[in-house]
Amino acid sequence: MKHNYIAGEWVEGGPAAENINPSDTRDVIGLYARASQAQALDAVAAAHAALPKWAASTPQQRADVLDAVGSEIAARKAELADLLAREEGKALTDAAGEVMRAAQIFKFFAGEALRIPGELLASTRPGMSVEITREPVGVVSIITPWNFPIAIPAWKIAPALAYGNTVVFKPAELVPGSAWVLAEILSRAGLPAGAFNLVMGRGRDIGDTLLGDPRVAAVTFTGSEATGRKVAAACVTRPGAMAKFQLEMGGKNPLVVLDDADLDVAVNCAINGAYFSTGQRCTASSRLVVSAGIHDRFVDAMLAKLATLKVGDARRAGTVIGPVVDAQQLEQDLRYVAIGRDEGATLAFGGQALESIDGQPGYYLQPALFTGTSSDMRINREEIFGPVASVIRVHDADEALAVANDTEFGLSAGVCTTSLKMAARFKRELQAGMVMINAPTAGVDAHVPFGGRKGSSHGPREQGRYAAEFYTSVKTTYLQP
Ligand code: NAD
């Protein structure tokens, strides 16, 4: 059984949970401990006790730790990608890309630790100067979802440590394997005991401690909107000082295809954005907003391409679409397929569950494409989080923009066009944190800000240099010599 890591020790105790392979539900990857409330408290106490030492560490010490972690992740790419694909179900090539991204994020923040900036300004008062410096925030609780089992933990843990904070990390209960290996790597990287702690298990069991303990200064959360609201409420209603918090939540991302688009580019963007990683990406293109002049050609080309996508075991060569992560998510995807039909949309492709492939029982779903949909349908308003996309036909660019922005979410939005003028207009007017021009809505660089607007995000951006906004506290010092 794999244990939790608290105060520099692997701590026994707590009930065990099975980690199941969604490509073959007979395959139990391992047993992982579920932390108790008392263990979560111990983890917070350990992070709090370690804070003075890690906050006082030199930039070089921090850089060395993060660099070592990044190097080891990269060196173990094949093994970690295999584990990730086995527990989460994304195809091995996608999993390998995610592992390398985690490595690159640790390397990036190793560099950032060496260049934590400040400012020195002349004061408006004679003889005075004003200095602006950044300090660690304190103990950071990190709560992550299951769909990026190593990259999302990396993009929270690396900046937290780079800026001198200590960490209590709670991964999603469906994917403890990648989190545990990451913790094991961190446990050997030269951190003082307690600077990094792993508590696996369910949010409802230990969430109160991770959010409500007054020693937790900040909470960074990625997950569903419903849980995000609970996290926010707990951070502001707890006794004493409120916790600083950052939320990355759902998406209902549009990919607009204009009449002048290159058809191959548009279809590749849509297939990749809507279906790769089994559509289980917050940045997935679930709404394909297509103008009338290219609509029929686009739909025909999508159907032809969909027929070639191989659904199967995530780790088998040739698989493009792995299984859905678990029975509950599969049930949700199928429910939305039924909802779309009831709403009058045409199920033009897929949408059927396959109980087994090559004799392996798993949570397989044929990728689904709806046509003849409208913006007010539930399938175009609510996040499905599976390999299900819909085409919304529009007359022109004006209507495309209106439909693209007709959502409570605002994470990523894309446009396929060969017109510079249209590209510039959509860049300006799309209401999203990230805009992709002739590129899939999903798939981002590791060194630039990530995050959304409207209902998708709350608080400062993650990643890149902008991560400093969340993981540091700014101090303004007035100095009269
Ligand atoms: P989820 O909200 O069910 O769970 C996310 C995490 O919150 C898990 O670790 C869970 O254990 C924990 N949690 C649950 N209840 C809690 C509580 N009461 N207190 C504290 N923690 C609690 O989300 P999920 O199903 O794991 O992930 C899918 C969702 O994540 C989708 O909505 C997706 O869009 C979103 N997501 C967003 C981004 C982004 O950056 N915007 C990235 C990836 C995924």
Reported as a single tens digit per residue, the pLDDT across 374-391 is 999 999 999 999 999 999
The reported pLDDT for the residue numbered 481 is 86
DSSP bridge partners of 393: 290
Q: pLDDT-derived band of residue 13, with 50, 70 and 90 as boundaries?
A: confident
Question: Is 88 touching ligand 1 by the criterion CB < 6 Å?
Answer: no
Question: Would the pTM of this model clear 0.95, i.e. be above it?
Answer: yes
What is the percent of the chain with per-residue pLDDT over 90, rounded to a whole number?
Answer: 99
Q: What phi and psi values does residue 335 have, to the nearest 5 degrees?
A: -60, -40
CATH number of 254-437: 3.40.309.10
d(CA 200, CA 10): 12
pLDDT tens-place string over residues 299-335: 999 999 999 999 999 999 999 999 999 999 999 999 9
Does the pLDDT value for residue 140 go beyond 90? yes
Helix (H, G, I), strand (E, B) or coil at 2: strand
Question: Is 17 touching ligand 1 by the criterion CB < 6 Å?
Answer: no
The reported pLDDT for the residue numbered 391 is 98
The Å distance, Cα 91 to ligand 1 centre, comes to: 21
- 409-433: average pLDDT: 98
Instruction: Locate the domains of the chain by residue range.
Output: 4-249+456-479, 254-437
- Is 248 in the active site? yes
CATH number of 4-249+456-479: 3.40.605.10
Q: pLDDT-derived band of residue 413, with 50, 70 and 90 as boundaries?
A: very high
Q: What is the bridge-based pairing of β-strands 285-291 and 253-257?
A: parallel
Which residue out of 155, 282, 412, 462 has the highest number of ligand 1 atoms within 8 Å of its CB and is therefore the one to mutate?
A: 282
- 420-442: average pLDDT: 98
Residue 9 exposed, middle or buried by CB count within 10 Å (0-12, 13-18, 19+)? middle
The reported pLDDT for the residue numbered 43 is 98
pLDDT tens-place string over residues 195-221: 999 999 999 999 999 999 999 999 999
The reported pLDDT for the residue numbered 14 is 79
For residue 224, which atom of ligand 1 is closest to its CA? 32
C-alpha 2, offset from chain centre? 24
d(CA 240, CA 113): 31
The Å distance, Cα 243 to ligand 1 centre, comes to: 18
The reported pLDDT for the residue numbered 470 is 98
The Å distance, Cα 224 to ligand 1 centre, comes to: 4
Residue matched to tokens 């088998």: 316
The reported pLDDT for the residue numbered 6 is 98
